[in-house]
A and B are shown apart, each in its own frame.
Chain A
Amino acid sequence: MSNSYIGKSIPRMESFEKVTGIAKYVHDMALPGMLYAKILTSPHAHARIVSIDKSEAEKLPGVKAVLVGSELPYKLGLYLIDKDILAKGKVRYQGEAVAAVAAESEEIARRAIELIKVEYEPLTPVFDPVEAIQEDAPLVHEDLGSYDYMKGVFNPIAGTNIANHFKLRKGDVEKGFKDSYRIFENEYTMPQVNHVPLETHAVIAEWTKSGRINIYTSAQSPFAVRNLMSIAFKIPHSKIHVRVPYVGGGFGGKAGIHLEPLAACLSKKAGGRPVKIVASREEEFNTIPSRQGLTARIKTGVSEEGRVLAQEIVYYWDAGAYADYGVNIGRASGYSGAGPYEIENVKLDSYTIYTNHPFGTAYRGFGHVEFFWAIERQMDIIARELGIDPYEFRMKNLLKPGSITITGEKIRENTGRVDKCLKTVVEAIEWGEQKTEEEKQEEFKKGKVTGKGFAVLHKAPAMPTFTSCSAIIKFNEDGSVNVVVSGVDYGQGTYTALAQIAAEVLKMPIEKVHMVWECDTDTGPYDWQTVASRFTFMGGNAIIKAAHDAIDQMKEVASAVLRAPKDELEIGNEKIYVKHNPDEFLTYREVAMGYTYPNGNSIGGPIIGRGKYIAQGLTNLDPETGQGLPALDWTYGAHAVEIEVDVRTGELELKKVVSAFDVGKVVNKLLCEGQVVGGVVQGIGTSLYEGFVYTPDGRLLTNSFTDYKIPTSKDIPDVVEPLFVETPQLDGPFGARGVAEHPMISVHAAIGNAIYNAIGVDIMELPITSERIWRAIKEKERRDQRAKTLKG
């Protein structure tokens, strides 16, 4: 066998299936007797449902089930149970599902939907999160006080629109501000954006007369779907069977639970026939959740030498109409919300606020894409006002071994090095000598101005303290293995990395490691959710343990057959051999199903290794101060960019993006680089193009690819360069940490900082459209003109 698999660039193992069209997604599936469902959505952002008349729809031939909210006495949710399957009593956002039909064909279902008559009485909506927490604001959830939620972790405030208030207090900010040489206060905003997986959400569910629910779904987290349905429907877990085939992109948007309960309830009403729901692209934008919006207010006090002494942060999250998942975004952004900096005095409040927008959920970065826009723009602004180079300024304040984070965690030698990431990217863009004022003027006259900028980032997996996962390694008759895990590989390439880890530990060729592709809650081992970039870390550790368990079982058998103590046995080349006499061996194949002596006696039995991993040492955070240990591991990173701005049109060209992450250990370079390039380009989308736009009464205008632009192959920079720093994570598999979400974080801030560097204007709102840049240039020209006139 060639040397180690760890660090090798191995192409995704399922690539063949994907380039030949063999790979089956839920979109591609049909079951015998299957019905097709369509959804009726609300035209109002906030309205009372006065009446629904579905009689005409029910009469239409071919219609098998029509459902409205009042028939469904269930509530669902991941952390805060606030969601109805279909709107009940009132609608809370335009696009919310109000009724649904299952019929023999899509066409019939569509026609039936048109026959349902709903009478609404519009209510006053609230859209801005800051307005929504004013005392007289209309309430989105009058019954918030009666909702169930994860106690000890979240803090919903009854009688308000605050679904969660996360508080963090470290040191004494007032004193910090008093000691400060200067204080900077700014507001930054980011709109809601959509994940835009190429495959929209799709599910097929059947609720059989025997009381079992069988589901195929495009979900990231089969066990979470099962668990939440079990709780909502009060059905034992063993009676719910969730399967996940290939998934066409998720980015967090397919975590938690979505259309599965609706499909199941339609099936039940249709007498148990399977029901398929595929979200249309419009529903994907408008009905299925997106990323929350954010308004961030930051007040920072600094010393004359450029040390940050105090920071007061308020995050107002536009959670939209529901916050079952969103509350944890507010929390995760709370405990890491000052960025990877050592700051002695911090006061942070993160409010997850209900509004009448489509609601928010997990999206790559999980709050960090949002707040880093504020944090990393703020750092640049401060540095420049103090006359300190923004690189030097950050270096003075970044976390290093020995630093204490804002929740009181001590950073160690092996936690990872954000300073190294920053240094790497800053060198790559040759940051240094700045242009003189004359040179800038000269460039400005020519119409095209270049600039450079950078930003740092960090993120830990955001998950409950008890998050766990498990893995099974089953030996096959020929000595190969099937590895079963229940995290979903929806494109990240995790399964390939996990196969490398399994092959490495088992010392066998990777061709003999088969990752079982379809996730199945009936037969697969438990995994909490495939989110938070934690799958390689936790799944990898579980697989290492499963492999050792299998090896131990094989040694047990070999010890008897070879008449050697277990601890004198070694493995290698698919053999178990005696350390000092490698000619004495058994092959994996000989022991895989049990060993048979020449006389027929047999010992052992099928080798099945099991491994598990549970996040270790995490604590709930103090409700008043946010102190505690929330992070399994931190992945740090930095981006640096080079841009060119056309000062006449405001058009921006991204010439180069260099990104570095401390991934601990690169398990598979090809896949790691793929994650980075893909994430950076997704981050470019958020930076420059994407954002929900509404009519004044809350109707989403950007609900198609015509109105919501994501990056195309024409929009990517000439150079996107992924670089890696490797500070091994002591408890990570082969030292590795996750890097799935991080590439998307802080791209926007690096661009924003480069824009100031180029043309001296501050963009505070995302996305950074050409129009926004152009307006800022005009505004600056007016200001400069006025200053000149006043002087003259």
Chain B
Amino acid sequence: MKVKVVINGITFCEEISPNTTLLEFIKEKAGLTGTKTGCENGECGACTVIMNGKPVRSCIILAAEAHGAIITTVEGLAEKDKLHPLQQSFIRKGAVQCGFCTPGMLMAAKALYDRNPAPSQKDIEEALSGHLCRCTGYKPIKEAIEDAFNSHYN
């Protein structure tokens, strides 16, 4: 079957088998390897991308379901050479260690960022729920997200 998806502003129209996941589509068909695979079971959040404005776990969505969708991956987060405020604060706050959870964390945070200019601690917690990180202990990630909001909106 043929599936058309717009990823980071570029249209990909590809022939795929019906059981291809969106994650496989992004990594293998679109060649965007920034999105990560941690469990292939919807349980770790590493594969999170933004689909039509909402964060989704691309490993449990079929590419066919994403037909016609607009998708942003971590590669689409920076504008030209300018890093997104979230990317900047992740660096500043040491929210990145091995970096394997980072793309998913960033996309979850970005979805929050886009819909809620003043999130509470609880909103941030909610956005990160089900996103696993084994390195940082989450504290720097939460701080980075808070910091990005503060520096951007204040």
Which residue in chain A gives the minimum CB-CB distance to B28? A30
Contact assessment for B140 and A677 in the assembled complex, using a CB-CB cutoff below 8 Å: yes
B103 to chain A, nearest CB (A): 5
Residues on B with C-beta less than 8 A from A17 are: 99
Q: Of A198, A490, A705, A711, which is within 8 A of B101 by CB?
A: A198
Q: Report if A198-B129 is in contact (Cβ < 8 Å); known contacts: A21-B33, A21-B75, A681-B138.
A: no
Q: Of B36, B39, B94, which is within 8 A of A673 by CB?
A: B94
Residues on B with C-beta less than 8 A from A704 are: 39, 41, 43
Contact assessment for B73 and A705 in the assembled complex, using a CB-CB cutoff below 8 Å: no
Contact assessment for B134 and A18 in the assembled complex, using a CB-CB cutoff below 8 Å: no
CB of B133 within 8 Å of the partner chain:
yes
CB of A1 within 8 Å of the partner chain:
no
Contact assessment for A682 and B75 in the assembled complex, using a CB-CB cutoff below 8 Å: no
A710–B37 alpha-carbon span in the complex (Å) = 17
Contact assessment for A27 and B137 in the assembled complex, using a CB-CB cutoff below 8 Å: no
CB of B34 within 8 Å of the partner chain:
yes
Interface string of B116-139 (1 = CB under 8 A from A): 000000000100111111111111
Q: Report if A247-B98 is in contact (Cβ < 8 Å); known contacts: A11-B92, A198-B38, A705-B41.
A: yes
CB of B57 within 8 Å of the partner chain:
no
Which residue in chain A gives the minimum CB-CB distance to B84? A19
Q: Report if A671-B102 is in contact (Cβ < 8 Å); known contacts: A704-B43, A716-B138.
A: no
Residues on A with C-beta less than 8 A from B83 are: 16, 19-20
CB of B96 within 8 Å of the partner chain:
yes
**Highest count of chain A CB atoms <10 Å: which of B27, B87, B99:** B99
Q: Considering the complex, which residues of chain A in the window 223-256 have a beta carbon less than 8 Å from any beta carbon of chain B?
A: 246-251
A108 to chain B, nearest CB (A): 12
Which residue in chain B gives the minimum CB-CB distance to A682? B134
CB of B62 within 8 Å of the partner chain:
no
Contact assessment for A680 and B137 in the assembled complex, using a CB-CB cutoff below 8 Å: yes
Interface string of A205-220 (1 = CB under 8 A from B): 0000000000000000
Q: Report if A713-B33 is in contact (Cβ < 8 Å); known contacts: A11-B92, A492-B97, A678-B137.
A: no
**Highest count of chain A CB atoms <10 Å: which of B37, B40, B77, B94:** B94
Which residue in chain B gives the minimum CB-CB distance to A669? B94
CB of A561 within 8 Å of the partner chain:
no
Contact assessment for B98 and A197 in the assembled complex, using a CB-CB cutoff below 8 Å: yes
Q: Of B46, B77, B140, which is within 8 A of A198 by CB?
A: B46
Q: Report if A677-B34 is in contact (Cβ < 8 Å); known contacts: A198-B44, A249-B134.
A: no
Contact assessment for B91 and A11 in the assembled complex, using a CB-CB cutoff below 8 Å: yes
**Highest count of chain A CB atoms <10 Å: which of B35, B98, B138:** B98
Which residue in chain B gives the minimum CB-CB distance to A29? B33
Residues on B with C-beta less than 8 A from A679 are: 137
Residues on A with C-beta less than 8 A from B77 are: 19-20
A716 to chain B, nearest CB (A): 5
Q: Considering the complex, which residues of chain A in the window 257-298 have a beta carbon less than 8 Å from any beta carbon of chain B?
A: 278, 280-281
Residues on B with C-beta less than 8 A from A671 are: 94
A367–B128 alpha-carbon span in the complex (Å) = 32
Interface string of A159-203 (1 = CB under 8 A from B): 000000000000000000000000000000000000111111000
Which residue in chain B gives the minimum CB-CB distance to A492? B97
Contact assessment for A713 and B99 in the assembled complex, using a CB-CB cutoff below 8 Å: no
CB of A307 within 8 Å of the partner chain:
no
Contact assessment for B100 and A198 in the assembled complex, using a CB-CB cutoff below 8 Å: yes
**Highest count of chain B CB atoms <10 Å: which of A14, A27, A492:** A27
Which residue in chain B gives the minimum CB-CB distance to A18? B99
CB of A788 within 8 Å of the partner chain:
no
Contact assessment for B27 and A713 in the assembled complex, using a CB-CB cutoff below 8 Å: no
Contact assessment for A280 and B40 in the assembled complex, using a CB-CB cutoff below 8 Å: yes
A11–B87 alpha-carbon span in the complex (Å) = 13
B77 to chain A, nearest CB (A): 7
Contact assessment for B135 and A491 in the assembled complex, using a CB-CB cutoff below 8 Å: yes
Contact assessment for A491 and B99 in the assembled complex, using a CB-CB cutoff below 8 Å: yes
Q: Report if A678-B91 is in contact (Cβ < 8 Å); known contacts: A19-B102, A713-B141.
A: no
Q: Report if A246-B99 is in contact (Cβ < 8 Å); known contacts: A20-B75, A280-B40, A716-B137.
A: yes
Q: Report if A15-B125 is in contact (Cβ < 8 Å); known contacts: A199-B38, A720-B137.
A: no
A720–B135 alpha-carbon span in the complex (Å) = 15
A715 to chain B, nearest CB (A): 8
A351 to chain B, nearest CB (A): 30
Residues on A with C-beta less than 8 A from B125 are: 713-714
CB of A134 within 8 Å of the partner chain:
no
Q: Considering the complex, which residues of chain A in the window 1-57 have a beta carbon less than 8 Å from any beta carbon of chain B?
A: 11-12, 14-25, 27-28
B97 to chain A, nearest CB (A): 4
Q: Of B90, B91, B94, B129, which is within 8 A of A713 by CB?
A: B129
Contact assessment for B91 and A677 in the assembled complex, using a CB-CB cutoff below 8 Å: no
Q: Of A11, A28, A247, which is within 8 A of B94 by CB?
A: A11
Residues on B with C-beta less than 8 A from A21 are: 32-35, 73-75, 103
Residues on B with C-beta less than 8 A from A492 are: 97
A711–B138 alpha-carbon span in the complex (Å) = 9
Contact assessment for A16 and B91 in the assembled complex, using a CB-CB cutoff below 8 Å: yes
Contact assessment for B130 and A24 in the assembled complex, using a CB-CB cutoff below 8 Å: no
A144–B39 alpha-carbon span in the complex (Å) = 36
Q: Report if A196-B27 is in contact (Cβ < 8 Å); known contacts: A21-B32, A705-B43.
A: no
Q: Report if A19-B96 is in contact (Cβ < 8 Å); known contacts: A677-B136, A677-B139, A716-B138.
A: yes
CB of A670 within 8 Å of the partner chain:
yes
CB of B106 within 8 Å of the partner chain:
yes
Contact assessment for B136 and A281 in the assembled complex, using a CB-CB cutoff below 8 Å: no
CB of B13 within 8 Å of the partner chain:
no
Contact assessment for A199 and B34 in the assembled complex, using a CB-CB cutoff below 8 Å: no
Contact assessment for A196 and B75 in the assembled complex, using a CB-CB cutoff below 8 Å: no
Beyond contacts A18-B99, A682-B134: 18 other A-B pairs, Cβ-Cβ < 8 A, are A12-B96, A15-B91, A15-B96, A18-B96, A19-B102, A19-B106, A20-B75, A21-B35, A21-B75, A198-B101, A198-B133, A246-B98, A248-B100, A249-B98, A280-B40, A674-B140, A705-B44, A712-B130
Query: Can you identify 26 A-B contacts, CB atoms within 8 angstroms?
Result: A11-B91, A12-B91, A16-B83, A19-B83, A22-B34, A27-B36, A197-B134, A198-B36, A198-B46, A199-B100, A246-B99, A249-B100, A249-B135, A278-B37, A493-B97, A674-B94, A677-B137, A677-B139, A680-B137, A712-B129, A712-B130, A712-B131, A712-B138, A713-B129, A713-B131, A716-B139
| 6 pairs of A and B residues whose beta carbons are closest in the complex | A21-B34, A248-B100, A491-B98, A18-B99, A681-B137, A28-B33
